[in-house]
Amino acid sequence: MKVCIPTETNEGLKAGVYGHFGSAPFFTLVDIEGKSVEVIDNGNQAHVHGQCHPVASLQGRKVEAVITGGMGARAVQMFHDAGIKVFRAPLAGTVEDVVLEIAGDRLKEITLDDACGHHGGCR
pLDDT tens for the 123 residues of the chain, in order: 999 999 999 999 999 999 888 888 999 999 999 889 999 998 765 444 444 556 777 878 999 999 998 888 888 998 999 999 999 998 789 999 999 999 999 999 998 888 776 544 454
Residue 121 counted as domain residue: no
Partners of 114 in beta bridges: none
Per the CB < 8 A criterion, the answer to whether 15 and 9 are in contact is yes
> How far apart are the C-alpha atoms of 43 and 47, rounded to whole Å?
9
Residue closest to 67 by CA, chosen among 99, 92, 35: 99
Which residues are CB-contacts of 89 (< 8 A; sequence separation ≥ 6)?
5, 17, 67, 68, 69, 98, 101, 107
Residue 15 counted as domain residue: yes
Q: Distance between the two ends of the chain, CA-based, in angstroms?
A: 26
Residue range(s) defining the domain that contains residue 60: 2-114
Domain count, the chain: 1
Q: Looking at residue 110, which CATH number applies to its domain?
A: 3.30.420.130
pTM attached to this predicted model:
0.85
